[in-house]
Amino acid sequence: MVQSKIIEIKNILKRYPGAVVAFSGGVDSTLLLKLTIDVLKNNVVAVTAVSPIQPKRDIIYAKKLAKSLGVKHICLRTRELANPRFISNAKNRCYLCKLQLFKQIKSIAAKFGFSVLEGSNKSDLSDHRPGLRALRKLKVLSPFIEVGLTKQEIRLTARKLQLPNWNKPSMACLASRIPYGEKIDKKILERIDRAENYLRRLDLSQIRVRDHFPVARIEVYTAEFNFILDNSKRIVRYFKRLGYESVVLDLAGYQTASYNK
């Protein structure tokens, strides 16, 4: 079943003379990039957004991964924080971000005469994803959605192909840690990035630091609650250095898009 979907994706890719792939370094975009390279060879360009809303560790990882795949890689500086509508942090924030990003990516693709591909999958359709509306508006191609490939099937295929990030935790931009209506600025994004980087050094599997400044709300899997509690003193000490006055553990555990619940 999964293999037939992969064959279908490759047949879709054969329609295009070349492709520009939106590449975050996550498992979805990595698998799409790998399949695209397999089919279109040298007629592939990977584009990674570089911005204060992107965790620095993810940008560094994407650069290393693109190099290992031997693909032409463009790091595209985006300017979401120059958009007053974006920094106001309304519920259409993701739509505005994707619209701006993919307009830039489409401009790059036009120079090559290539199509634009991105890695959203069938599982994304059951979540709150306003960015998908922007993709449809710009007619960006989503092969995984077209064939009905799910997140689980992506991970299984990535593992089979020995992609190093097949089990990498799901990624999201740092702005998603800020409650709707709270203004987004670089200082807040950097604070969140540093807090999450600290927790990642403790080898937690999935992390979100929701910023309710001066309160930090930590989300991890419930199975890792004891680890957080055992290390609570040093976590609180570090978070207070970042300016937080209180640090709380969300007893509901990690949730995707928790501000949309």
In tens, the pLDDT along 38-47 reads 999 999 999 9
**Residue pLDDT, tens place only, 112-166:** 999 999 999 999 998 778 889 999 999 999 999 999 999 999 999 999 999 999 9
Task: Give me the pLDDT at residue 258, please.
Answer: 61
pLDDT band at 259 (very low <50, low <70, confident <90, very high): low
- CA proximity to 211, closest of 53, 95, 25: 53
Q: How far is CA 16 from the centre of its chain?
A: 25
The architecture that CATH gives domain 2-160 is 3-Layer(aba) Sandwich (3.40)
Q: How far is CA 87 from the centre of its chain?
A: 19
pLDDT band at 261 (very low <50, low <70, confident <90, very high): low
Residue listed under structure tokens 């990674």: 48
Yes or no: say if 217 and 252 are a contact pair by the CB < 8 Å rule: no
The encoded tokens of residue 167 equal 């089990």
Quick one: the chain helix, strand, coil %, rounded to 5? 50, 15, 35
What is the chain's mean pLDDT, rounded? 95
**Residue pLDDT, tens place only, 180-189:** 999 999 999 9
**Residue pLDDT, tens place only, 46-95:** 999 999 999 999 999 999 999 999 999 999 999 999 999 999 999 999 99
Per domain, the residue ranges of the chain are 2-160, 185-260
Q: Is the pTM of this model over 0.75?
A: yes
Asked whether the predicted pLDDT for residue 17 surpasses 90, the reply is: yes
Cis geometry, peptide bond prior to residue 164 (ω within 30 degrees of 0): no
How many other CB atoms sit within 10 Å of the CB of residue 222? Answer: 11
Question: Torsion-angle region of residue 75: left (phi > 0), alpha (psi -120 to 50) or beta?
Answer: beta
User: How many whole angstroms separate alpha carbon 227 and alpha carbon 11?
Assistant: 46
The share of the chain scoring above pLDDT 70, in percent, equals 98
Under DSSP, is residue 92 helix (H, G, I), strand (E, B) or coil? coil
Residue 184 DSSP symbol: P
Task: Give me the pLDDT at residue 127, please.
Answer: 74
The architecture that CATH gives domain 185-260 is 2-Layer Sandwich (3.30)
Which of the residue ranges 44-53, 100-109, 122-131, 209-218 would you say has the lowest mean pLDDT? 122-131
